[in-house]
Amino acid sequence: ELKVEQNPLFLSMQEGKNYTIYCNYSTTSDRLYWYRQDPGKSLESLFVLLSNGAVKQEGRLMASLDTKARLSTLHITAAVHDLSATYFCAVDGLANSKLTFGKGITLSVRP
Amino acid sequence: NAGVTQTPKFQVLKTGQSMTLQCAQDMNHNSMYWYRQDPGMGLRLIYYSASEGTTDKGEVPNGYNVSRLNKREFSLRLESAAPSQTSVYFCASSKSGRIKNIQYFGAGTRLSVL
């Protein structure tokens, strides 16, 4: 059974500083997705990582995938308030069309 | 672009009542999904439909039934609602190709069972 773990589950960030959050998964996969959810809203796709070593960047966020370590990282550069949200990673188990989601990491940016 | 449309947005039920949550997508996607989201639990898959005419159980299917009415529509039915089914329900769809499987989500249905 594919398990996806995210840590930490909550992160209070200071504006202007850099942070990294992690997503670990338990079985072989080379397809990983990051989603963002604002409070009370739906999930929005952020990044799609489709191979070992894949790196995607959008604004202050950069995501990478290491399939050998079964690890994805989401790096935040110079945090700003607009980045406050919950971030989910999801892994494609490849055997079917299902994604397995982590529990999500809630980021809060304080002045 | 409508994307994935869920109805209703909010619902309050009494224990034992039944209801159907509706979901429709206009992206010509093959696969559709129903999730529930509870605090601290992330998203848990209830049922999914890999293609029109097929449905499969997910992680938490007990107490639910689904119908893939056609390629566009995938409904979730609670036959006898229980307080444990109080949750936010999301429908999603994906093209489900071998390269990418990005899921697109509806706005959610907030359900309270009293």
| CA angle (A44 as vertex; B72, A15 as ends), nearest 5 | 170
| Residue A15 structure tokens | 């504006």
Task: Check: CB of residue B55 under 8 Å from CB of residue B46.
Answer: no
Q: Per-residue confidence of chain A (111 residues) as pLDDT tens digits?
A: 889 999 888 999 999 999 999 999 998 877 899 999 999 999 999 999 988 888 999 999 999 999 999 999 999 999 999 999 999 999 987 666 788 999 999 999 998
CA distance A75 to A62: 5
pLDDT digits (tens, 9 = 90+) for B72-100: 999 999 999 999 999 999 999 998 766 67
The nearest CA of chain B is from the CA of A108 a distance in Å of 16
Determine, for residues A48 and B100 on separate chains, whether the beta-carbon distance falls below 8 Å: yes
B39 — contact with chain A (CB < 8 Å)?
no
Q: Is B88 on the interface with A (CB under 8 A)?
A: no
Contacts of residue B48 in chain A, CB cutoff 8 Å?
Answer: 97-98
Report how many helices (DSSP H) and strands (DSSP E) chain A contains, helices first: 0, 11
Asked if A96 lies within 8 A of B41 by C-beta distance, the reply is no
Q: Of A91-100, B37-46, B51-60, where does mean pLDDT reach its minimum?
A: A91-100
Q: Nearest residue of A to residue B37 by CA position?
A: A103
Residue A95's pLDDT is what?
Answer: 67
Q: Check CB contact of B43 with chain A, cutoff 8 Å.
A: yes
Q: Per the CB < 8 Å rule, is B101 touching A42?
A: no
Phi, psi of B84 (to 5 degrees): -65, -10
Question: Does B41 have pLDDT greater than 80?
Answer: yes
Q: What is the DSSP letter of B73?
A: B
Sign of the Cα torsion A36, A49, B35, A75 reads negative
Size of the A and B interface in Cβ pairs below 8 Å:
54
To the nearest whole Å, the CA of A71 is away from the closest chain B CA by 18
Look at B103 and A92 and tell me if their CB atoms are within 8 Å: no
How far is the alpha carbon of B114 from chain A, nearest alpha carbon, in Å? 21
Tokens of A27: 């079985």
| B70 CA: distance to closest CA in chain A (Å) | 18
Q: How far apart, in Å, do the first and last CA atoms of chain A sit? A: 41
pLDDT of residue B99: 67
